[in-house]
Each structure stands twice: as structure tokens, then as C-alpha cells.
Structure 1
Amino acid sequence: MSKLLNVLYLSTALAVVSPVHVWSQENSPSNSIAASAGDFVAQVIFWTEDQTPADFLEMAGQHTKARWRTMYRPQPPSPTADRNKAAFTLGSLIGETFLIWEAGDSQQFRNNNQDIVTYCRMLGLGEKMKPRLMAQAKMAEMDDWKNLRQEIVDGHQELMRMLREQMDDDLAVLVDIGAWMRSLEIVSKLVVEIPDVDKRPLCIGSPALLAELRQDFATLGEVTRRSLLVQPVISVLTELEKVWNDENTGPPTQGMVARTHEQLRDVMAELTLK
């Protein structure tokens, strides 16, 4: 019931600010996919700057018939010595946490948090984060999902703050990008499975989200930014932003959505599951 109330509260909030979140022919930027979309002129923007990955997944659940438990992915391998890879994978595990919260699956939540502890330990944060992660698992076990939602959002921010405190700014950025990329992978899979044309842009939230992630990537140090490991990330972000921002594209097609999911799935598998 608490999760239903959360959805109702979010729906009410969205209704209040709906003029900000709806594109029309009058207020759409010329470089948006709505600009030349013909009848496709009342497109809801599914992402705003104040959203967290948790908000984004909750939004997706309102617009799709999400079967969250079918979205789980395999457990990642043990972390290697590559700290950049570990940070990105850790971010993807945080993204997985938001998915599991939507599913309300306490056992899967505990399993995922154990993986998070392992990756935190590799980055020097194991002892600092373990008590909080154990407390989160206990909240899931007690079905305290209402309070757990904010706790995992805060835990995500706390983790990045700790990384910055130990002068690992690049790792903090990679954690955040990893969480968003996993969330986009999940949502794009949901959108592939629905026929509604007006819901297709949900799979990337907004071209502005892709641009923000690309800008975050640009803040990485040169060595990190140019590493072979993370180059596939910026390549996918740049290509998707170009495709979804093309004023000549018109309404997004099913093939466009399928290709978007395929690109996100492949880059996440390459960086986090191998």
C-alpha cells in the first residue's frame, strides 16, 4: 500500500507541474524529436534535472506494465584490479537496487547489497558502507519499503561523497554514470515491450539526460576519459544523443527503440558482466 501511495504522490506532483513536463509545437526546441513529428506533438518529457534513477524507474512503472522481477540481471563477476571498472560496476549495482525496490524483493535486495559491499571494499569503502548496507537489507526484510526508498537514494549520494573525500572524483562520476546507464537499460527494455508510440521516448528519458551524462563524462580526468575501458560508454551516449536529437527523425520507431536498448544492453554487459 505504501508503494501505491508513493505512486499517487508522484502522480499528483507531476500533474501540478505538468506545463514544465510537456512538449508542444510551440515550446519544443527545434532539435527535439517532436519538432518534425507531425501528429506526435504532445510528448511527455520523462526526465527532469531533479530526478534520481529511483524517480526515473518509478516514472517508467507508471507508464508501462512493468514486470520488474523479469528485469534482474546476472550477478557480476568478482571485481578486478581496475578501479574504474569496479566503480562503474558498483554504480550499475546501485541502479539494480532501485529496480529491486520496485519489485519489492527482499531476498534479491540482500543478495545485491552483498555484491555492493564487495565492490565497495575494492574501492576502500567496505567498512564505511557495510553498516548502512546491512541496515538497508534489514529494512527490506521487514518490508519497510517506504522508508527504504529514500535510504537507498541517500546511500547513493553518501557513497559518491566518500569517494570524493578520498580524492577519487573520477570514481564518483563513474558510479553515478553506471547507476544511470543501468536504469536506462532497464527502462529501454520495458519500452521495447509496449506498442505505444508516445511512450517510446521514455527509453532515454530525454535527450537532455543523455547530454548531462555526456557532460559528466567530460569531467573525468584525461587518463580516465581516454581509457579503453570507458570509451564504449561515451560512444554509446554520443550516438544515442545524436539519434534522439535529430530533428529529421520524426516520431521514434520501434526499430529505434530496439536499437537503443540493444546498445545499452551490450555496453552494460561488456563493462559489468565480463
Structure 2
Amino acid sequence: MIRLAKLSVFAFFAGVCAAASAGDSGHLTADQMAKAARTDSFSIPTPGELFAALGKPGKTNWSGQYRGPIPVTYRNRAQIALNLGGLIADGFIAVEAKDGQQVKNIGADIIKLAKALGVSEKLLGRGSSINEFAEHNEWDTLQEELEATQNEVKSAMQSHADQDLVILVTLGGWIRGTQVVTAAIVKDYSENNARVLRQPALVHLMQSKINEISPELRGEPLVKGVSEQLGEIEKLVSFPPTKAPTVDEVRKINQAVSKMMTEIESKDLPK
């Protein structure tokens, strides 16, 4: 039953994140991730794919990667979208930790932020059902409800006219996912896992995606700051393909993305 629950909830969060991405990129191993980072065009990996690239299931202390609750009363739409992506990554963490209560908590926050971006009332009703089924451990019913939710989330996001926000949701998920992955590698360092972080083409792709959004949104201080910091992160993940970053170099990447997450979460937007 635990495995069924994990797969079901994973489908829910995967549906949200996949809908925000340019397309489905499949399940990436550490080697596939490294190869993908050397190409010029590919889909941005979901947080779940980043976590899967770590390998060795059961070894990572996923519950140790939880963060405290974030505000869900943001008014800036760009900030809402970035934080929605981060919450989706948190959902993947809860699934990996097999933590039903955490899944329920994060799911509720995702629904709140998604509602602020104009998600349908029907989808909000499904979110309430997910909480109810998780509360009573009705895993079989939860699986059916989450599969339906996944399809509805995809439909809602694909029909959304604001592609700018879709880009920011995807970016927020990658930033939070990378924060978690780098923290896990620092805690249990191995060269093989550290090689996953060589992603200069991926970071460059995200910068190019930011350049595609509207000038008005791109000029907002938060979005502008994230874009500028991606330039610094690109340098940090541009180590030679034959060399794994040291634990200190991984720590620097973690510090850089953690700084971005702090700014994204903050209720005090940069001026």
C-alpha cells in the first residue's frame, strides 16, 4: 500500500510539473543527466528526475530535506509562480520520504498558490478529495483521484494563456530541486552523484527562457535578480566533463541556489 500511495502522489506532482515544462523528458539516470547537459536543447528536468539521478534508493534522508512552511499569500504573480514550482519540488521530496501527512500539507499549499494563478474550481475540489483520502489512508481511491487530478492539471496549465508563468513555475521547481540535490550530495558525497551537477547548457537554456517572457515581467526586480544569479550558477556548474566537482564546489552551488530560494520565498520583494 505504501508503494501504491507513493506512485499515486508522485503522479499528482509529476502532472503539475510536467504541464509546466516544455515537454516530457522521461526518467533520467545520472549518466543521462550528464549527457543531456551537454546538448543545446532539451526539456528542463522535473524535480523528481533530479532526485532520481542521485540513485541508490533509500539512502538519502529525504525528510531531512524538508523546509519550514512558506507564505501562501503572495500578491506578485511572478513570485507566486516561482514558489509554486518550489512547492512542487517539495511534493516530490514528501513522496520520496513516503510521508502522507507532508504530502497532504504540501498539496494544500500547492492548491492555494495554484488558485491564485487562476486554476479551476473543479481542480480545487480534487485537491480537497486528495486530502480526505490521504487522511483516511484510502490509497486505492487516492490513486484514481490523483490520476484524474494529473490529467486535469495538465489540461488547465496547457490552456492557460500566460506562458510566462509556466516558465517561472518550471524554473522555481528546478531551483528548489537543485537546492535539495546539492544538499544531499554535500551530506553524502560521491563523485558519481556530483557529476550530475554539470549542467551549463541547462542553466543557459533557462536563461534563454527568461528572455522569452514579456519585458514587463522580465524587468521585475525578483525575476531580474533570478536571471542574473543564473549567470553565476552557470559558471559554477561548468566544470570539465572528465572532472567531478569537489564537495566544497558542490557546497558553493548549494549556497548560490539557497540564496535564490531565500529571495523567492521572502515577502519583502527586492526593489
Q: Could you tell me the TM-score, scaled by structure 2's length? A: 0.73
Aligned residue runs from structure 1 range 260-271, under 5 A: 260-271=253-264
| 1:73 partner SS | coil
* 1:43-95 deviation per Cα after TM superposition (whole angstroms, max 9, x unaligned): xx9xx748432232233252783111111111111322211111111111111
Corresponding residue SS for 1:220: coil
CA distance in 2, matches of 1:78, 1:115: 7
Q: Which amino acid in the other structure matches residue 189 of structure 2?
A: P
**1:51, 1:65 → 2: CA distance?**
22
Q: Which of 69, 85, 97 pairs up with 1:75?
A: 69
1:79-98 matches, within 5 Å, as 79-98=73-92
Q: Which moved more, 1:127-136 or 1:104-113?
A: 127-136
Q: AA paired with 1:2?
A: R
Q: Letter of the aligned partner of 1:252 in structure 2?
A: P
Q: Which residue of 2 aligns with 1:14?
A: none
Question: Unaligned 5+ residue runs, structure 1?
Answer: 7-16, 33-44
- The answer to whether the Cα contact below 8 Å between 2:53 and 2:193 also exists between their aligned partners in 1 is no
**Offset at 1:114?**
1.4
Q: How many equivalent pairs are there?
A: 243
Match of 2:161 in 1: 167
1:260: Cα distance to partner? 0.3
**1:229-248 pair list within 5 angstroms:** 229-247=222-240
User: Is 1:163–1:169's contact at 8 Å kept on the other side of the alignment?
Assistant: no
Q: How does 1:26-175 map to 2 (within 5 A)?
A: 49=43, 51-62=45-56, 65-125=59-119, 127-138=121-132, 140-141=134-135, 142=137, 144=139, 151=146, 155=150, 159=153, 162-163=156-157, 165-175=159-169
**Equivalent of 2:250, from 250, 253, 257?**
257
How many Å separate the matches in 2 of 1:209 and 1:158? 28
What TM-score does the superposition give when structure 1 sets the normalisation length? 0.72
Answer whether contact 2:164 2:213 (CA < 8 A) is retained: yes
Partner of 2:3: 2
Identity of aligned residues (%): 25
CA RMSD of aligned residues (A): 3.9
Equivalent in the alignment of 2:191? 197
Q: Spell out, residue by residue over 1:161-207, the C-alpha distance to the aligned partner (whole angstroms, 9 max, x if none).
A: 534534222111111111121111111110111232232133x3633
Q: Distance in 2 between matches of 1:265 and 1:144?
A: 34
Contact (CA 8 Å) 1:93, 1:179: kept in 2 or not? yes
Structure 2: distance between partners of 1:166 and 1:57:
28
Contact 2:198 2:237 survives alignment (8 Å): no
Moved over 6 A (4+): none
Indicate conservation of the 8 Å contact 1:106/1:137, yes or no.
no
Structure 2 counterpart of 1:225, from 213, 218, 221? 218
Shift of 1:208: 3.3
